[in-house]
Structures are given as structure tokens and as C-alpha cells.
Amino acid sequence: MAALLPKVGMRQPKLRLSRAAIAAFLGLGVLLHLLPFYYIVSTSLKPGAEVVSTPPTFIPSAITLDAWKLVLQIGDNAEIVQLVQEPFWVYFVNSAFITLLAVGLGLPVTALAAYANSKLQSGRSARLSFLFFIGTMMVPFVVTLVPMYLLTLNFPFTLPDAPTIPGTDSEFPTLRLWDTPWAVILPAIFVPFNFLLFKGFFDTIPDSVINAARVDGGSELNIFRRIVMPMAVPVFAVTAYMSFGSVWDNFLWQLVTLQSPDKVTMSVATYQLIDRLSTKGTTGGGAAAQAEGMSDLLNSGLTWNGMMVLAILQSIPIFIAFLVCREYLLRGIKIRGLK
């Protein structure tokens, strides 16, 4: 607990006023922050006509679940099927599968590497492998975007086509990851920033604790499992929360790698739908095409209230991850000496 305001004389009117002013400022910020939450939920409960009426209503005149039903039964609706081929739960399950696998594999892989770097290596080799792991962190994602895309097309090669085997006419065999969930999962497993968080935490564990366990004859894996992991719950929670959010809410990479309607994730499907729904900027298709897409959607009854349902579905898992991990979030962040 910081003490910017003096503790002595806490009851002085001037100090009380300062404290109240801080509380009011924070309260106002909370209100501003919660406003979008309220507006999303209330809009999703409005009837379709009210959503596109002027002036917009802040409190729904009538509460209906029409938009929710429409979105959840999207596969049954002939008009919408032309725009999004699968029911939305398919996209939701795709997203969930990718995210859970990426986080579930990512945490142990990253944590073990960070632990090995922090406690099993020392001196020069430790510094070198630290640089090896962290070196890719500051590299902007866009630099590797194209080679990674080509890599998912022809797995071991970052070329548009697999090269031919010298002396023959046949091409090297390649593995196509593109348009499969693995194209999203594999690159998301090892995250340098998570490595940094884990390493920062493991560095604070005294070596003597580990050495004592070694004297008692524990194998390194058992030491990690029985002694280090229970101490590291907060940092596991932080990394789980952060990587969950970043995979679930990722957009660019999933847009690049996933294409077939049954493989697409929530964020991509939502983009495809919203692309049709509202009038685009001038870079998009012609005005006629927009009007057509618009009327298709309105015929089907899907409008902004349905989009808000999608926004809620997209937010709920992140929301839950936050609530689950919140107790540990502050304790788990120990970033030290980053240079």
C-alpha cells in the first residue's frame, strides 16, 4: 500500500477531500470502462428495428432474445447461410480448440525451458540460450508474417513451391499445415514474452531450495513438479491469462491461415460477417454489392444486435479467464532487469 497522502492527520478535511477526489476520478474511469460492456449487452437485447432507429436508445424499449436465437441458429437460416456457411458454434468450438491446445501445450513447454535456463544452466551457456529465446521477442510480427505463411503452405520450406530434389524431377515432399488448426497452434506454443515472465519468477527462487531437493534425490522433473510448480502458481496464472487472450483474440494470423468455412475461427467469421453488414470505405467493393449484402442481411433479420451477440461471445472466454486468474495476476508479474 503506497502512501502518497500522509497517514498522520488522515481526518483533516483537506486530506479527506483529496482522497475523495481520487476515488471520484477512479470511479469515473470505471464508469467509462464499463459503458461499452453495458452498451454491448443492452444492444444485443434490443429488437432489430430499434437498433437501426434514430435516435439510438440507451435503455432498450423492449427486451427480446431474438438476436441471440438468430445467431445461435444461424445454420438454419437460408438467407444468412449464403454469408456464413456454418452455425456460429462451429466457429466458437474452432477458436476454443485452438486456444486451449496452444495454451495447454505452451505453458509447460515455455515453463520448462525457462526453468532449465534459470536453474540448470549457468554462466555463458545460460546467457546464450537466454538470448536465443528472447531474441525473437522484439522482432515485429509482420516481419515473419510472409515466411511463416509460406512455411504453413510447404512445411519445411518458406517458398511458394517446394524445390525439386537435385537430379530428379520430383519435388521434395512437404507438409501442408495451412488451413488446419495446427497452422495457428504451432507458432503460438512458444512465446518469448511468457518465457521472460517465467524466467523472472524462477530467478527469485533461491538455488538452495533446489539443491536441497537434489540432495534428497529428486529427479529434475520431480523437483520442478513438486517444489517449483506449487510456488509458481501466480506466474502460471498470468501467462495462462495473457496467452489465452492473445490466441483467442488474434485476428491477422488466423485470417491469413484459415480459409475453409468449417475451419475458420470466431474472430475471422465475425470479420467476414461484419464486412458484409455495413457500408465499407471506398476501398471495398462497389456500392451495388454493398447494398445487396446489406439487404440480404436485413432480410434474414440479422443486424447490429446480432453483431453485438457475436461481440459478447467473442469476449466471454477472455472475461472468464480474467475472473479465474484475477487472484494471482498481481503476484505473478515479476519483470526484472530487462535490458
Partner 1 sequence: MTTDTAVADATAAEDGAQPPATPSRSRRRRRQLWIFLAPAVLLNLVWGWYPLATSFVLSFTDARLRGDVTFTGFESYERMINDPLVAQAFRVSIIFAVLSIVLTFVVPILVAILLMEMPRRTMRWMMLLWFLPLSSVGTAILWRYVYNTDYGLLQSIATGLGFDRQPFLNSSDQVLFWLVIPGLVLYGPGLIYLATLQSVPTSYYEAAEIEGAGFWRKIWTISLPRMRPVILMMLMFAVIGNLQQFEWPMLMTDGGPGGASRTAVMYVYDILNQLRYADATALSILLFALIMLVVAVMRFAIREDPDAPPRRSLRELVTRKGDH
Question: Is residue 45 part of the contact set for partner 1 (CB under 8 A)?
Answer: no
CB 309 within 8 A of CB 277: no
Number of residues that bind partner 1 (CB under 8 A): 125
CA 93-234-132 angle, to 5 degrees, is 80
Beta strands, E only, 197-312 = none
Number of other residues whose CB lies within 10 A of the CB of residue 50: 18
Query: CA of 321: how far to CAs of 35, 97, 134, 249, 313, in Å?
Result: 21, 15, 26, 13, 14
Phi, psi of 164 (to 5 degrees): -80, 150
What's the min distance (Å) between Cβ of 182 and partner 1? Answer: 11
What's the min distance (Å) between Cβ of 116 and partner 1? Answer: 4
> What one-character DSSP code corresponds to residue 94?
H
Among 101, 148, 258, 297, binds partner 1 (CB under 8 A): 148
Among 231, 287, 289, 291, binds partner 1 (CB under 8 A): 231
What's the min distance (Å) between Cβ of 296 and partner 1? Answer: 18
Among 28, 34, 128, 233, binds partner 1 (CB under 8 A): 34
Which strand (E) or helix (H) includes residue 317? helix 304-332
Closest CA to 331 of 245, 246, 237, 241: 237
Among 62, 78, 131, 138, binds partner 1 (CB under 8 A): 138
Cell output for 334 = 515479476
Question: Is residue 1 part of the contact set for partner 1 (CB under 8 A)?
Answer: yes
Among 84, 151, 237, 302, binds partner 1 (CB under 8 A): 151
Site string for partner 1, 265-304 (x = CB under 8 A): -xx--xx--xx--x-xxxxx-------------------x
Cell output for 33 = 470502462
Burial class of residue 126 in the structure, from the number of CB atoms within 10 Å of its CB (0-12 exposed, 13-18 middle, 19+ buried): middle
Among 139, 165, 289, 291, binds partner 1 (CB under 8 A): 139
Closest CA to 303 of 67, 37, 65: 67
What's the min distance (Å) between Cβ of 251 and partner 1? Answer: 5
Among 85, 158, 180, 290, binds partner 1 (CB under 8 A): 158
Q: Segment contacting partner 1 (CB under 8 A): 81-89, 96-104, 105-113, 294-302?
A: 105-113
Question: Is residue 52 part of the contact set for partner 1 (CB under 8 A)?
Answer: yes
Among 69, 127, 176, 214, binds partner 1 (CB under 8 A): 214
Question: Is residue 49 part of the contact set for partner 1 (CB under 8 A)?
Answer: no
